[in-house]
């Protein structure tokens, strides 16, 4: 078994332990994927039938990579493993067993937009205030309930939930949840959360089905176990109950998805479920330099809820971690862009060697502007995916309706696109009739004369005949031929072709790209079923990192830290390290939430291979108002010996860190916070404070300002006016600030105090 030779002792021990419950705690960059793939390959080499192995991941990309590696070790038989994301695996299982819980096997999978669209329709029908009951809020509330396996009946009967809803003025949530669930059921649709919620329901209500899959899946492996929610936890626990050959892999230090329902306690308390657990720790980091690993260790050491491990690296010591201070968010963007340009020019790095990571999407603006000014190519990840574009969703709605005509969201989307004279009033009348008779919208539309006047009924009837013709065609044609036929005969291709605007041409090209993708799908040799319905399920279950196509383009990557998980880059900038931003303001009242923010910072730091830069601004615009910012407490938690400060401006005279004549003072605390007590753990702080305005600061009358005067600015400190130019009201002052150097300010906005 030569494939075992390349593993370190900890990795090999984890691979070879195949019986009983196993937990592999995998530090960042420790070769986790390699261990999972070799462990599965090892099971097959030991004679385990691939049909009896279930591997659950969180992205399709991870599943594909693992399967390819396993095939490379044991051959084509690895294709028989049940492997994929939780949602894709259990969607496949539900296709077989859905009739046992009253669903058709061809159920539609609603994406988030479909679900919110249906909720908006329900809220409108119930005449509810969209400010109090926004579709986003209601969707998140229902999603959280499903992830905790709370049905609409249990939701309505739970006194605590009801008390919370009524105290918040949203006492109709239980009724909305009920209506939403019933409408999905009548439409033969499941939303993303239902794929797990209904799997739990299936296994709970059908012991024979549970027993069947307990005996089928004799060996279970779960990747990223720290990100599982209660629903996922319960499915895995049920399936593993007989054989207990379950292996979970994860890192509690990278648990960052509580907002999606992930429960870190699943991994922290795993041993309570399996007392005879075998635990293996992968602690050698193969990705990052020792300095970066040291910083990451010092950060996560501040968390109380964790499984202890000592991550180390045998790579070079590496550069110290650079900390940059800017005086505004725009200046921060400029400093980051200039640093990237310099590294690119001086060291011959590619643009795609750089990543800029931030806490919130809104922070990308200042970074984008700075990169554009220097003509640095970049790509923002996590934006609108290909399959979320309107024209793509329109054509896919036709496909969905062809295979499941009861799909209400798809029917409403295309019944009048391209325009065929079926207006909103007609659709609303059909919806009301469907609700009154407890039937689907499609069923109401197939008997239009019963609900509509003659001419409108005829138009609706023609649309129904069109969809029925697609249903016949889809049974006899390949996925690509059926898709092309539907695109042409629905009128959608013609409508886009006739729009000669740039946007129209782009939309037409996107449809062609979708059809190309379906043709490629039809010709794949690694799958047996190639129908258009199978293609629909594949794209419905895409995760975010499956949507970005041009990943090899030479561009700087911009993304939130949440989006960066699982990625790595030679040079990473983590920006916006300020209190109330990172950690976020919402996390500061809870130790649990603050620890998740710290884990998020840990994830950002450990994306780095060679060079890490951290930055913060001392002021930032928020909701149109300029606010002063304090450096993040997370920076304070890093020992100064691992850091190198790169401040563009020199702070006040006499600051020991910047006094070249006192190099021995460089590790002294120069941050303006009180010293911690002797009992509290503390590393050396290296942050300098921003200017504090003079007590009673008030801007002076700028008509009195003259060259040579001393002035004070709220953020920039004290300076001297060296030039005035322009005419009222647009006079500009050039001022030399003691801490910043020369700046040019527009007087009507400058808010300067003349020093008497």
27 annotated ligand-binding residue: yes
Listed residue (460, 486, 457, 459) closest to 471, CA to CA: 486
Size (the chain), residues: 756
Listed residue (392, 387, 401) closest to 533, CA to CA: 401
One CATH from 1.10.540, 2.30.30, 1.10.10, 3.30.530 for 108-187: 1.10.10
Handedness of CA 120, 122, 128, 132 (dihedral sign): negative
Listed residue (204, 116, 195, 118) closest to 154, CA to CA: 204
Phi, psi (5° rounding) for residue 743? -140, 150
26 annotated ligand-binding residue: yes
One CATH from 3.40.50.1220, 1.10.486.10, 1.10.760.10, 1.25.40.10 for 388-524: 1.10.486.10
Domain boundaries, the chain: 2-100+197-282, 108-187, 315-385+546-645, 388-524, 702-754
Residue carrying structure tokens 């949840």: 177
What tens digit of pLDDT does each residue of 40-64 get?
A: 999 998 999 999 999 999 888 888 8
β-sheet bridge partners, residue 358: 560
Listed residue (217, 177, 268) closest to 90, CA to CA: 217
Q: What is the pLDDT of residue 639?
A: 85
Residues 15 and 35 sit within 8 Å (Cβ to Cβ): yes
> How is residue 509 written in tokens?
């090209």
Distance CA 90, CA 193 (A): 11
Distance CA 589, CA 299 (A): 19
Which residues of the chain register pLDDT less than 50?
547-550, 649-689
Catalytic positions, written as ranges: 32-33, 223-224, 254, 607
31 annotated ligand-binding residue: yes
Q: What is the pLDDT of residue 683?
A: 37
> How is residue 366 written in tokens?
């200042």
Residue carrying structure tokens 């041993």: 271
CATH 2.102.10.10 fits 2-100+197-282, yes or no: no
The CA radius of gyration of the chain, in Å to the nearest whole number, is 30
Listed residue (232, 249, 238, 225) closest to 192, CA to CA: 232
Q: What is the pLDDT of residue 656?
A: 29
Q: What is the pLDDT of residue 678?
A: 34
Query: How many other CB atoms are found less than 10 A from the CB of residue 6?
Result: 11
504 annotated ligand-binding residue: no
Q: What is the pLDDT of residue 552?
A: 62
What tens digit of pLDDT does each residue of 396-447 get?
A: 999 999 999 999 999 999 999 999 989 989 999 999 999 999 999 999 999 9
434 annotated ligand-binding residue: no
Listed residue (413, 453, 452) closest to 432, CA to CA: 452
Q: What is the pLDDT of residue 680?
A: 35
- Whether 2-100+197-282 and 315-385+546-645 share one fold: the answer is yes
Torsion of CA 161, 167, 169, 173, to 10 degrees: 0
Which class is 315-385+546-645 in CATH? Answer: alpha beta
- What pTM value is reported for the model? 0.75
CATH code reported for the domain at 702-754: 2.40.10
Query: How many other CB atoms are found less than 10 A from the CB of residue 427?
Result: 18
Query: How many other CB atoms are found less than 10 A from the CB of residue 190?
Result: 23
Residues 753 and 727 sit within 8 Å (Cβ to Cβ): no
């Amino acid at each position: 078994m030569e494939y075992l030779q390349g593993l370190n002792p900890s990795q090999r021990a984890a691979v070879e332990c195949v019986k009983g419950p196993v937990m592999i705690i995998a530090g960042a960059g420790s070769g986790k994927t390699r261990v999972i793939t070799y462990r599965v390959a090892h099971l097959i080499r030991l004679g385990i039938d691939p049909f009896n192995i279930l591997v659950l991941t969180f992205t399709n990309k991870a599943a594909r990579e693992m399967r390819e590696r396993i095939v490379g070790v044991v051959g084509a038989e690895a294709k028989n493993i049940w492997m994929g994301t939780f949602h894709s695996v259990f969607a496949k299982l539900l296709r077989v067993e859905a009739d046992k819980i009253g669903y058709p096997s061809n159920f539609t999978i609603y994406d988030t937009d479909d679900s919110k669209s249906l909720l908006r329709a329900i809220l409108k029908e119930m005449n509810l205030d969209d400010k109090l009951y926004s579709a986003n809020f209601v969707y998140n509330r229902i999603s959280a309930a499903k992830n905790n396996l709370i049905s609409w009946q249990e939701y309505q009967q739970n006194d605590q939930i009801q008390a919370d809803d009524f105290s918040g003025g949203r006492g109709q949530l239980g009724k909305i949840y009920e209506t939403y669930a019933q409408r999905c059921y009548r439409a033969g649709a499941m939303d993303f959360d239902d794929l797990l919620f209904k799997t739990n329901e299936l296994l709970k209500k059908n012991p024979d089905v549970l027993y069947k899959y307990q005996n089928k899946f004799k060996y279970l492996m779960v990747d990223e176990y720290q990100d599982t929610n209660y629903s996922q936890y319960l499915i895995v626990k049920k399936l593993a109950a007989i054989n207990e050959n379950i292996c979970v892999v994860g890192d509690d230090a990278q648990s960052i998805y509580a907002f999606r329902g992930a429960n870190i306690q699943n991994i922290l308390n795993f041993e309570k479920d399996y007392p005879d657990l075998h635990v293996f720790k992968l602690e050698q980091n193969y990705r990052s330099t020792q300095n970066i690993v040291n910083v990451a260790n010092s950060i996560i050491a501040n968390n109380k809820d964790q499984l202890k491990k000592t991550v180390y690296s045998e790579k070079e010591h590496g550069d110290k971690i650079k900390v940059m201070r800017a005086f505004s968010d725009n200046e921060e963007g400029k400093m980051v862009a200039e640093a990237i340009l310099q590294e690119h020019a001086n060291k011959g790095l590619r643009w795609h060697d750089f990543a800029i990571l931030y806490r919130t999407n809104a922070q990308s603006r200042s970074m984008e502007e700075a990169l554009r000014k220097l003509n640095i190519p970049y790509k923002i990840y996590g934006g609108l995916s290909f399959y979320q574009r309107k024209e793509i969703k329109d054509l896919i709605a036709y496909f969905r309706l062809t295979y499941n005509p009861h799909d209400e969201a798809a029917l409403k989307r295309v019944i009048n696109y391209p325009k065929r004279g079926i207006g909103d009033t007609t659709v609303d009348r059909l919806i009301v009739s469907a609700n009154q008779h407890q039937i689907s919208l499609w069923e109401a539309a197939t008997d239009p004369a019963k609900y509509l006047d003659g001419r409108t009924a005829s138009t609706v009837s023609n649309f129904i005949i069109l969809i029925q013709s697609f249903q016949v065609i889809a049974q006899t044609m390949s996925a690509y031929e059926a898709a092309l036929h539907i695109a042409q005969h629905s009128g959608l291709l013609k409508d886009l072709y006739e729009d000669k605007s740039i946007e129209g041409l782009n939309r037409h090209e996107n449809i062609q790209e979708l059809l190309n993708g379906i043709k490629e799908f039809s010709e794949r040799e690694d799958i047996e079923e190639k129908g258009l319905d199978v293609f629909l399920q594949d794209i419905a279950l895409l995760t975010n990192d499956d949507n970005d196509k041009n990943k090899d383009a030479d561009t700087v990557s911009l993304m939130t830290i949440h989006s960066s998980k699982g990625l790595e880059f030679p040079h990473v900038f983590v920006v916006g390290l300020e209190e109330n931003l990172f950690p976020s303001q919402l996390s500061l009242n809870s130790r649990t939430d603050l620890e998740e923010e710290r884990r998020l910072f840990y994830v950002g730091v450990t994306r780095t291979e060679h060079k890490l830069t951290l930055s913060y601004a001392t002021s930032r615009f928020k909701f149109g108002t300029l606010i002063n910012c304090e450096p993040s407490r997370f920076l304070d938690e890093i020992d100064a010996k691992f850091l190198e400060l790169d401040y563009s401006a020199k702070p006040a005279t006499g600051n020991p860190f910047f006094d070249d004549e006192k190099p021995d003072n460089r590790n002294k605390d120069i941050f303006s916070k009180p010293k911690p007590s002797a009992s509290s753990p503390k590393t050396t702080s290296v942050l300098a404070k921003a200017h504090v305005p003079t007590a009673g600061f008030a801007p002076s009358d700028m008509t009195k300002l003259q060259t040579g005067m001393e002035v004070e600015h709220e953020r920039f400190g004290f300076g001297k006016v060296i030039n005035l130019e322009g005419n009222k009201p647009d006079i500009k002052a050039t001022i030399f600030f003691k801490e910043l150097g020369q700046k040019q300010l527009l007087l009507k906005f400058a808010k300067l105090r003349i020093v008497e």
